[in-house]
Amino acid sequence: VGDKLWTLANGTVEKTTVKQVSSRKAWEIVEVVTERGIMRVTPDHPLATSNGWVEAQDAAGCLVEWTNPNSLHRARRPPKLGYAFGYALGAMFSDGTVGDRCLSLVVNEREFAVRFATAMVEAFGMEVRIEEISRPSGFLGREVPGFRVRVVSSYLADLFRTYAGGDAHHMRQHFPRVVLNDEESLRGFVDGYAEGDGFRPKGASGVVIVGANTAFLREFAEVVDARFSGGPQLYVADRWNKRGWYGKHGFRQEEHRTTLAEASYSRVLEVRSKTARKKPYTVYSFQCEPYPTFLIGGHLTHNCEHHLLPMIGKAHVGYIPEGKVVGLSKLARVVEGYSRRPQLQERLTAQVADALHESLGARGAIVVVEADHLCMTVRGVQKPGSVTVTSAVRGIYAKDQRTRQEAMSLITGHR
């Protein structure tokens, strides 16, 4: 209790706190094998899939929401929108390199490096260093001095790739529409990109953007309402944001996510049933806040019950004693005790059978529960009369078919 667990909330990695822990015995669990790992849970444990919450025992073939557990502890840098944010993106999209775990900008002018470093600090809160370097020049045939700004952050590397449409290579990147969240961000992007891969003609009231990625330039032109002929240059007037100027549409604000969506999906390849041999498994349930969900090996799960609606029915209980018998009222109390809580019928059935078999030391126990679920009759599909039947057998009832059949015939004969 009090420990922090990782979870996913709207695709973002968050922490949640364990407020309560409960445990119980279970003879059966399932081993869920996905493309990303293996987890052992109870058969009714809910998994977050692309089609909603699905019990683990029914999850074969489903896509389970997943995030890389190796990246959970990395620092996350949510950006601050504004001119600095746009400028940092513009500089990177024009002259920068996005690696697996870092961003790098190598330029000739120190002033450009300083402006980029300052923008990264303001927009992302990153402390960056400017390094003096030398690099070969194919045009001059010799080493030339330069300046490098390197930012080590796998989170920002993934974020910038997302902004670029998934591929940050200059020939495949797309226009980062995230800068359309506000006008100052787009203004900063135009200035940052022009400083890296553009120029201002003498006496002109605009800048020329240069690039070989014509698809990117075409998207850029649509955003600033500029004419684009399909060549390697795009002229962006200083008044691109003035609505009505020469019939221009001006700045058109759009809403886009600024933080990294770290969730993806992992397909369930197989679900294997595991039955305890000599002693039952001990399984745990966590009640967490502020998020009720948590990750198992990066897979999103939770322990919450499906519905907070009653189920009304009856429980058939039988046992074969091993020297000890119990009063009939105690059997009813056992069922009542496990029923008076948020519960699943499958779990209730198993818990009553386990209590008789273990606590009483019975040679065998059998429990059959028949119930109407109000979630089926008063909401959803609204099917009155739909009865759910669950059963659990322990000890000799599980091993001896004749004994089990005799008990089942007594139960079905009194329906």
Active site residues: 304-307, 345, 373, 375
Q: How far apart (Å, rounded) are the C-alpha atoms in residues 2 and 332? A: 36
Tell whether omega for the bond before 292 is within 30 degrees of 0, i.e. cis: no
Question: What is the chain's alpha carbon radius of gyration, rounded to the nearest angstrom?
Answer: 32
The answer to whether the beta carbons of residues 153 and 225 sit under 8 Å apart is no
Angle between the N-to-C axes of helices 154-163 and 83-95, in degrees from 0 to 180, rounded to the nearest 10 = 80
Q: Token pair of 113, please?
A: 């490096």
Q: Is 395 buried (19+), middle (13-18) or exposed (0-12) by CB count in 10 A?
A: buried
Question: CB-side exposure of 79: number of CA atoms within 13 Å?
Answer: 26
C-alpha–C-alpha distance, residues 305 and 344, integer Å: 7
Quote the distance between the C-alpha of residue 378 and its chain's center: 33
The contacts of residue 293 (CB under 8 Å, 6+ apart) are: 7, 8, 9, 16, 48, 300, 301, 302
In three-state secondary structure terms, 242 is coil
Q: Nearest 5°: phi and psi at 81?
A: -65, 150
On whether the CB atoms of residues 175 and 223 are closer than 8 A, the answer is: yes
Q: What are phi and psi of 114, to 5 degrees?
A: -65, -45
| Contact by Cβ (8 Å): 111, 146 | no
CA distance 221 to 63: 39
Look up residue 298 and give its two tokens: 């990066």
**H-run or E-run covering 396:** helix 396-399
Residue 348: how many other CB atoms lie within 10 Å: 21
353 vs 186: CA distance, rounded Å: 65
Pairing type for strands 264-275 and 293-296 reads unpaired
